[in-house]
Structure 1
Amino acid sequence: MSLEPFRHSEPLTLGVELELQLLNTHDYDLAPYAEDMLRLMRKTPLPGSVVPEMTNSMIEISTAVCRSASEVLGQLTPIRDALVKSADKLNIAVAGGGTHPFQQWHERRIYDKPRFRELSELYGYLSKQFTIFGQHVHIGCPDANAALLMLHRMSRYIPHFIALSASSPYVQGQDTAFDSARLNSVFAFPLSGRAPFVLTWDDFGQYFDKMTRTGVVKSMKDFYWDIRPKPEYGTIEIRVFDTPLTIERAAALAGYVQSLGAWFLADQPFAPAEDDYLVYTYNRFQACRFGLDAVYVDPATGSHMPLREHILKTMDQVAAHAAAQGAHNALHMLRTEAERGHNDARWLRERQRHEQLLAEVSRQAAHRFRGAPA
C-alpha cells in the first residue's frame, strides 16, 4: 500500500478529537454504554461527529474544521450538551480526564468493530489497558513538506502539551505520582514515540514504503507517534494531550497549538535537527512525571530550566500571533493556570485529598464536564 497524497488544507485550521469516559451513576465506575449513547446521539444534528472507541465504556467526539479556538469551543459546546442530555436519559454520566481513577482494565470489553477486534488480537491485554482518554489536535499545513517541518518544530513543545493537559494521576485506584500516567500505556505499543526525522514528503514516502514492505504497518493509523502526518486531511495530528476535564481547556489547548503554528510559519524561528531528539524522551518523561514542575532541557543549548518558565517564555514569543489568530483568551487561560502551577491533575489530587474517595472525585469531574460551576 503506497502513501496517499498530502491533500490541501487551509493553513492553521484546527480539528479537535476528545475521547471521553462513560460512567454509571451508582459508583461512577466506567459503564458499557457506548452503543446506547451512539444510538441516541445519531438523532441530534451536530457540527462534528461521535464515534466508538476501543472499549465500550468510551466514545470519541470531534469537531469539523475550525479556524479559531473560539470556533472549536463553539462546536464542542453543542456536542457536549447533546452528550449530557443523552447521558441523562440513560442515567449515566460523561467525564473527561486522561484515565479513569479506579476502573479495572480486565473488566473492559472491546467494542465490536473489525479494526478494534484486529487490534485486540494483535496486542492482547494492551488493548483493554488502552481504555485511556486523549485529546488529538489537527492543524492545517500549507503543503506536505511544510507539514513535516511543522511536525519537527512542534516536537520541541511536546512537554508543554503534556504538562498543560495532564489529567491522569490515578490508575486502578492508585496515585501513580505521575501527572500524566496515561502516556505510559501508549508507550507500551511498538510503533509509539517519535516520527522519523525526514523533512521532505518524498523521503517520508520512502520510509513508509519500507515499513509497509516489512508487513509491520498497513496504513498511517498503525503509527502511534506523538505527532503524525494525516495526509488525508492535509494536517499534522498532535496526540499527547490527556483529555481535559472541560471543553474550555480543550479549546484553549488547540488555540496554543495554532499560535505556535502561526509563529513557525511566519517567523521560521529555528531549524529542526535530528539532535533535537537527544533530549526528547527525557523531556517527555519529565512532563509526564512532574507536570508543570518538570525540568526542561533545551535541545539547542543543553541548558536546564523549569518547564513552567519555558512555557511562559514561549507564550510571550507567540503572543502577537495568538492575538492575530483570535487565541489571546486561550493563551491567557493557560498562562494563568501555568503561573499558579495548576493543571487538571492538580485539581483531581486536590479533590481526592478533600473527599478521600475516588468515586466522589469522578462524580465531581463528570459534574465539571457538564459545564456546571465547580
Structure 2
Amino acid sequence: MEELGSRESFDRMGTLGVEEEFYVVDSEGFPVSGVDELVYGDDEPPAPLAGKLDHELFKFTIETQTPLIEDVGAAEDHLLAVREALVEHAETHGYQIAAAGLHPEARWRELDHAEKPRYRSQLERIQYPQHRNTTAGLHVHVGVDDPDKAVWIANELRWEMPPLLALSANSPFWNGFDTGLASARAKVFENLPNTGMPTAFEDYAAFERYERRMVEQGAVEDRGELWFDVRPHTGHGTVEIRTPDGQVDPAVVDAFVEGIHAMVIDLAERYEDGKRDSLGAGLRRELLDENKWRAMRHGHDATFVDRDGESTIGLSEAIERTCDRIGNDALTALLDRESGSQRQRRIHEEQGSEALRESLVL
C-alpha cells in the first residue's frame, strides 16, 4: 500500500466497493487458529475472490472485496457471488464461514495473529489494544469525483454514523461473555489509535496535511491506518463508511450498501447545488461521541442528541428522517427486524451456545 493518496484519485462519482470481514470456523462453529491455506494456499480461490481475499489481524479473520461496482443495482449480485465463493473455498479446506461484529467464542489469547508484516508491525507498535482486536465489520466505499466534495460529505456523514451503528449492532458477546453492549465491536475497535469519530476538516488540503503529518511522524505506516468511522479514502477516491458491524444476512448488508450509497449521492448533489448548510456537522465532537456510545450500548433502543445539539431523537425517527431526505427507504426495512444483538441474545438464552454458533454460519 502506498503511504499517501492523492487528490487525483477522486475522479468517479457513485461507484461502489464493499469490504466484508468474516470468521473462519470449524465444523462446530468454533474459531480456528493458524489458518493460512484459504489465503496463501497453493490452490486458487474461486474467480470472484481472485486478488480480493486477505487475512485481517488474526488468521481466523478474513476479508473479501467486491470488484468496482458501477451500478448500485448490481451490488447485491456481486455481494452474493463473493460470499458464495468464500463459503465454497472454505468448505474445500474443511472450514465454515461465520459473520458477526465479534465472534462470541473468539478468545483472543488462544488465537494466532496473521504473519503479514503489516500486521506484525501494528502489533509491535500498538501492543495490547491491537493484540485483542478480533473485530469484523462492513466497509462501504462510494466514489466521489472531487476531493473537497469528498471531505465535505465525510464531515456531514459524521452525525449519521451512530444511528447506522445502532441499526447494525451485532456483537453483544466478546471473549466468551455477554458484554451488556449491543455493539462491543465498536468499543473494542475504538481502543486503537486513530479510530472513532473524526474531527471535521475544512477542505481536502487540511485533510491531506493531517494525513501526511501522521505518516511523516511515524504515527501510522500509511493512510490505511487512519481507521475512523468515516473517512475520505485518498487511495481509492471514495468516501468510506466503516461503522457497521459484520452481518450474517446478505439482505441486511445489501440494505446498508444501498442506503449508504444514497446518503453519499444526496450529499454530493447538495454540495453541487451550493446547499452546504450543515445537517449536523457543526455538532461538537463530544456530542457525536456521546451518540456513538448510546449506539454501542443500546443498539435499536438508542436515542441520540439531535443535530440541533439540544433535542433528542430515537433511532426509528432518525433513520426515517434520513431516508425521507435521500429518497431511499432501504434502511427503514431494518427497523422492523430483530437486531443482530437481540437475535444473538435470544438464541443464546433459548437454545444455548451451540445454536448461537450455528446461527452465525453463512
Q: TM-score, with normalisation over the residues of structure 1?
A: 0.88
Q: 1:60-106 CA distances to partner (integer Å, 9 max, x unpaired)?
A: 00111113444222112122112222222222210110001122110
Q: Which residue of 1 aligns with 2:103?
A: 100
Counterpart check, 1:214 vs 2:217: yes
Q: Aligned letter for 1:63?
A: T
CA gap 1:339/1:248 in 2 versus in 1, 3 angstroms: closer
Q: 1:131 aligns with which of 134, 144, 162?
A: 134
Counterpart check, 1:287 vs 2:292: no
Q: 1:346 aligns with which of 342, 347, 350?
A: 342
Q: Which residue of 2 aligns with 1:30?
A: 31
> What is the CA–CA distance in structure 1 between the aligned matches of 2:125 and 2:246, rounded to whole Å?
26
> What is the CA–CA distance in structure 1 between the aligned matches of 2:204 and 2:179, rounded to whole Å?
40
Greater share of residues in helix: 1
> What is the CA–CA distance in structure 2 between the aligned matches of 1:80 and 1:33, rounded to whole Å?
22
Q: Which residue of 1 aligns with 2:260?
A: 257
Structure 1 residue ranges (4+ consecutive) displaced by more than 4 angstroms after TM superposition: none
Instruction: State the secondary structure of the residue aligned to 2:68.
Output: coil
Q: Is the 8 A contact 2:59 2:113 kept in 1?
A: yes
Task: Name the Cα RMSD after superposition.
Answer: 2.1
CA gap 1:212/1:93 in 2 versus in 1, 3 angstroms: closer
> Size of the alignment, in residue pairs?
353
> What is the CA–CA distance in structure 1 between the aligned matches of 2:174 and 2:261, rounded to whole Å?
31
Q: 2:356 aligns with which of 354, 361, 365?
A: 361
Instruction: Give percent identity, aligned residues only.
Output: 24
Q: 1:65 aligns with which of 63, 68, 83?
A: 68
Q: Which residue of 2 aligns with 1:270?
A: 277
Instruction: State the secondary structure of the residue aligned to 1:270.
Output: coil
Instruction: State the secondary structure of the residue aligned to 1:346.
Output: helix
Give how far 1:229 is off: 1.7
Q: Aligned letter for 1:237?
A: E
Give how far 1:278 is off: 3.9
Q: 2:113 aligns with which of 110, 130, 138?
A: 110
Structural mapping, 1:298-309, within 5 Å: 298-309=306-317
Q: Aligned letter for 1:270?
A: D
Give how far 1:16 is off: 0.6
Which runs of no fewer than 5 residues in structure 1 stay unpaired? 323-327, 370-374
> What is the CA–CA distance in structure 1 between the aligned matches of 2:287 and 2:70, rounded to whole Å?
33
Instruction: State the secondary structure of the residue aligned to 2:124.
Output: helix
Q: Which residue of 2 aligns with 1:313?
A: 321
> What is the CA–CA distance in structure 2 between the aligned matches of 1:118 and 1:297, rounded to whole Å?
38
Instruction: State the secondary structure of the residue aligned to 1:359.
Output: helix
Give how far 1:304 is off: 0.7
Q: 1:127-146 CA distances to partner (integer Å, 9 max, x unpaired)?
A: 33111111111111121100
Instruction: State the secondary structure of the residue aligned to 1:279.
Output: helix
> What is the CA–CA distance in structure 1 between the aligned matches of 2:92 and 2:4, rounded to whole Å?
44
Q: 1:112-138 CA distances to partner (integer Å, 9 max, x unpaired)?
A: 111011111112233331111111111
CA gap 1:19/1:150 in 2 versus in 1, 3 angstroms: same
